[in-house]
Structure 1
Amino acid sequence: MSRGDDELPEEEAGPVVRPYAVTGGRTRPTSTLEMVALVATTSRGLGAARSPSMPPEQREIAFLCRHLQSVAEISAHLDLPLGVAQVLVADMASAGFVAVHRPERPDWRPDSELLRKVLDGLQRL
């Protein structure tokens, strides 16, 4: 059987792990975690990442988040579904391995007339 140019032999493809296996079957994080929340690794997280006992996905997150990353960026870098990244980050935050900086929500709502004018202007472009 011939192999197509876009197919990789098994040994080159690497291990295949289903997302539910990475999260232990959970589909939602234990706390609300927005995709724009910024994540930074703590010193405790960097220490734990050097240990072979930390799961590989969490280790990757720990090293990646030495510089601030959003949850969406983590998802993209690790090629994981957003929900999986949210669960992993929430677990790591609970363990003190990462600090999560949630976006601030303004107390005000924009004036509907202003929004209507902006929309009209955009439609005229």
Structure 2
Amino acid sequence: MTEGRRRQGGRQAASLARPYAWTAGRTRPRVDLAVEALVETTPEGRTARFRPTDPLAAVTQLCLRQRSVAEVAVHLGVPLGVARVLLGDLLVAGQVSIRDTLPADASFDERNELLERVLSGLRAL
């Protein structure tokens, strides 16, 4: 293996390590969050005190406007699993609210239409 490949591999590993450091290595959220679920910062989250470097501060700022879980991941530049862990922590703390986009008894057509909207939105990002 050449030195260039090792350095490139190191950079790639470091870029993924940082977001997982934000979650203390956790890859599973405390609550199950659908990729299309809509997230919004609550009044408690708007007044919460975070260190400026705390990723939770960035999430609460992003979610002042309602966004999907997928959008949060894209805007933060982190894997979806990291975004879910951060959002789960904020949800448990009452600093964000999450609204499912479909009821549990939604039809196949409703679910398919939602997936098409999510894919279209992700492509637009």
Structure-1-length-normalised TM-score: 0.67
> C-alpha displacement at 1:56, in angstroms?
2.2
Q: Which runs of 5+ in 1 are unaligned?
A: 1-15, 112-125
User: For residue 105 of structure 1, what is the aligned residue in structure 2?
Assistant: 103
User: For residue 37 of structure 2, what is the aligned residue in structure 1?
Assistant: 37
**Equivalent position amino acid for 2:40 in 1:** A
Alignment of 1:84-99 (within 5 A): 84-99=82-97
> C-alpha displacement at 1:103, in angstroms?
2.2
> C-alpha displacement at 1:77, in angstroms?
0.5
User: For residue 115 of structure 2, what is the aligned residue in structure 1?
Assistant: none
> C-alpha displacement at 1:109, in angstroms?
4.3
**Segments ≥4 residues shifted beyond 6 Å:** none
For residues 87 and 79 of structure 1, the distance between their equivalents in structure 2, rounded to whole angstroms, comes to 14
User: For residue 27 of structure 1, what is the aligned residue in structure 2?
Assistant: 27
Stretch deviating more after TM superposition (80-89 or 96-105): 96-105
Q: Does 1:46 align with 2:9?
A: no
For residues 37 and 27 of structure 2, the distance between their equivalents in structure 1, rounded to whole angstroms, comes to 18
- The structure richer in helix per residue is 2
Q: Structure 1, residues 58-87: CA drift from partner, whole Å, max 9, x if none?
A: 111111111100000000001011000000
Which of the pair has more CA radius of gyration?
1
User: For residue 56 of structure 2, what is the aligned residue in structure 1?
Assistant: 58
Structure-2-length-normalised TM-score: 0.67
Asked if the contact 2:51–2:57 (Cα under 8 Å) also holds between the matched residues in 1, the reply is no
Distance 1:109 1:87, change over 3 A: same
- Percent of aligned pairs with the same residue? 41
Q: Which runs of 5+ in 2 are unaligned?
A: 1-14, 110-125
